[in-house]
Each structure stands twice: as C-alpha cells, then as structure tokens.
Chains A and B, each alone.
Chain A
C-alpha cells in the first residue's frame, strides 16, 4: 500500500463517520480537526473502523498520529504493509 492509498482509506472512513462534510479539498498537511467538524468521539470512530475493516490497532498513546492525513499515512502505511505481508 502506498501512502496515497493509505490516505484514501482514512478518507473513506471519514466519509462514513462525518457524512455531512465536503472531503473534496482536505489538505493532507493540515490537522483534520482544523478543517473538518470532528470531535474526540469521531476519532474513536476512526480507530474503531481501522480495527473493524483492516484489523489495525491504534493504541491510545498513538492517537496523536491520526491528526492529519499526512501523519495518518506516515503512521498507518507501515501497519498496512505489515498486515499484507502476514497474508
């Protein structure tokens, strides 16, 4: 998985948990909370959907890595690759 593909996975999740938001111009380097109406429960939703859909665990101490699309990609892409390698 590439980092761009990883960002799309996160965006797909956000599209479901924040269905009123326009996601066409999300800036990858800007904090998601600064450009979208997302609260702490929504971030728990992102964590839950990563677990449900992709079997990826994000420990509480690492929630900070979900701040922006760029930081999501940095943090999550290796996890996706590791899961894919496990087959």
Chain B
C-alpha cells in the first residue's frame, strides 16, 4: 500500500527578523537580518538573534510567569499556524491532534535561572522553585502548547540537536501515516539565547561569532566567517493527510516528498560529510527523485570555518556539476543559528519560492571562501529561476545527527 500523502497546510513562526511567514520572507528577499547585542549573564554583551513577537497575544501574564520561553514560542507558533491553516479548530477532535516539537535542548535556561536565584540566598535549596520540574521536563514546550490549546492527543518534544526542526516535521509525517493522529502541529523551537551555557560552550569551542556590526556577524560561506550567532526562534506547521486537507478545502503550501535521518557515529561535534551525503542521497531516493530534480537546497551551514566546508563537500558529492537547475542558499546570515528551530524556520523561508520563483540569497558573503564555491550558490541578491518544484532542507546536529527533508510543489 502506498503511504498516505502528507501536506503542509499552515505555518506559524517567529524569527529574529520576522513574526509571520510574509514578514520573514520579505526580509529574506530584502537582505534584512535580525541580529543584535544582548546582555548574557556572566558573559556581558554578546551577539544574538532575538524574537520580538507579542507573547501576550495568546497567553495570559500568569502563563508567562509560570511557563518557559520555549513554551511561549511554541504557543505563539502553534496558534499562528492554526489560524493560517484555516481549520475549524473548535470542531477538530482534540484527541486526534498530535504536537511534535523539535528542540536542541531544554531545561538549561530554567536550571541556570534557579541556580542564580538560590545564589542570592546562600545556595539554600529551600528557595528553589516548585516550578522547576514542570519547567525543565523535556516535553515542556509541547506540554505547554497542549495546555494552552486544550489538545489531548500526543504532545511531546523530539531532541535532535540542531537537526530537530526537520525532525519535528518528519516525525509528524510518520505519525500521520501510521494513523496515530489525524492532524499534526510540528516543527522546531529554541529558547537557547536565554542560557549563558550555550554561549560559554561555543566560546570555549572557539565557535562563537564576533563582528563589530551585529548584522554582519553571521556569514556562512564567507572567507572571514568566525563562528555561530546563537538565536532563538520557532516555526510550527500544520500537517495533514492529503485527503483530509482536500476535504476541507485547505490551501496547500507543499507536499512532503521524502526525508532521511542518519548518524555520523564519528565525533561529538565535528560533522561527517560522508554521512551527510548519504543522508541527502537517501532522502532524494525516498522521494523518487534524482539530484538534478532538486531545485533549491537550503544548507545548514552555521558559519564555522570547518563545518561550512564539510557540508559543501557533501553537497558537491551529491550534486556535482550536473545539476544546472539546482540552486543553493542559506538562511543563517539573516537570523543566526536558531538551533532547534533552524531547520523548520529555514524551510519556511523557502516555501514561497514555489509561488514567486525566487531563491532568497545567502547574505554577508563579501568574499566567498573558494572551498564553499558550489555551483548554483545564490549570494547576496535574490535570483529569479525558471522552475521551483522541489526544496531540500538540510539540518545537522551535534553528536552526528543528520536530517534531510524534501518538500515538493503540490499537484493533484
């Protein structure tokens, strides 16, 4: 039996440069980045991608006080996606809705806050918050979303480092195909900028970007790139089986065409281009395509000196010189690295290409690193192209998890 066709029917997002798909896309086409200076506990001023959505749009003040930033971002994105998809939410059986949210990590922010709090009381643990456990359980972002929406189906997170955004979508597609749920809210989120630990960790790795101009700091593929800009963000989609979406006359952004997930099994932090290439090839094969059928490749490249070159090596191995209609871009120059949200946000930023036949560029590439000079790389200016029927989205993470997700133009 052929697996059910799965389609994307709604998008809700918050990024450092936009709080809706329309705003985000416009800024990607206009070269507008969203990186700023931010005070980080113990570390002083650092560069970060900060989201400026209105948290009170969908939550009460008390929910914000009790809950987490990750929960708040999730709720905002989920509500925006539900509105966008046009479903009659009141009529949706809530026990048949699944929430699958990818995150890089969860609990660091809340734990650091509590340790800081008890430091003001001579580290007496009787001042430790009774909210610590519900705030730090790994399912917190999905759980807060289920509470806010009254959804009683499965709601949990998927931990997959920086591949998590893709993983949320992939897992939702699998659950829809298995018949576990009839409607899915899925994608990825990150509250990472609120933990000093991730900044300190990348700094100790010599992988934290530095630049006098925050908007120029994140520069994948540029010869002068010097590391990651850490960002928060979120992007959640509504996914449905095609027949369900058609039955209610839903607009369809794209169809899930194929995906693959694998592991490097080679290093804690260093990427493995051989496994990345295997992952990309397997996704293309599952989609029933060949490399030259892929029209946009959104890279994961985070602007670390080595990581960008290794991903380019993997892409070169798969696509070579024989894919004249394959264009390659990157979104992190605008928004930094949104960690668990990265894959989901970066896919969203490219979805409008199915309609406007424009590939958004990688920005901040003033001096292209020759080791990153891939054919079809779109740099600094948007490019109009003849065909956009497929988008491949790479998302890779620490401990060697790789994910590649392909969406295609929906046709009956």
Contact = CB atoms under 8 A, between A and B. Distances in A.
Contact of B61 (A20, A41, A45): A20
Interface stretch (B96-104, B125-133, B385-393): B125-133
B126 A18 contact: no
Contacts of A19: 61-62, 65
Interface string A27-54: 0000000000100010011001001100
B2 interface: no
Contacts, number: 22
Contacts of B127: 48, 51-52
A2 B231 CA distance: 50
A17 interface: yes
Contact of B126 (A17, A37, A41, A51): A51
A41 B65 contact: no
A51 B121 CA distance: 11
A18 to B, nearest CB: 6
Nearest to B121: A52
A21 B261 CA distance: 47
Contacts of A44: 130
B121 A48 contact: no
Contacts of B121: 52
B380 to A, nearest CB: 46
B147 to A, nearest CB: 12
B57 interface: no
A82 to B, nearest CB: 19
Contact of A20 (B60, B129, B130): B60
Interface residues of B, number: 11
B137 to A, nearest CB: 15
A75 B121 CA distance: 25
Nearest to B130: A44
A16 B61 CA distance: 10
Given A41-B130, A41-B131, A18 B62 contact: yes
A63 to B, nearest CB: 13
Contacts of B371: none
A55 to B, nearest CB: 10
Contacts of B178: none
Contacts of A20: 60-62
Interface string B61-75: 110011000000000
B61 A48 contact: no
A17 to B, nearest CB: 7
B129 A48 contact: yes
Nearest to B60: A20
Interface in B277-326: none
Contacts of A18: 62
Contacts of A45: 130
A54 to B, nearest CB: 13
Contacts of B61: 19-20
Interface string B126-148: 11011100000000000000000
Given A48-B127, A51-B126, A52-B127, 12 more contacts: A17-B62, A19-B61, A19-B62, A20-B60, A20-B62, A37-B62, A41-B66, A41-B130, A44-B130, A45-B130, A48-B129, A52-B121
Interface of A: 17-20, 37, 41, 44-45, 48, 51-52
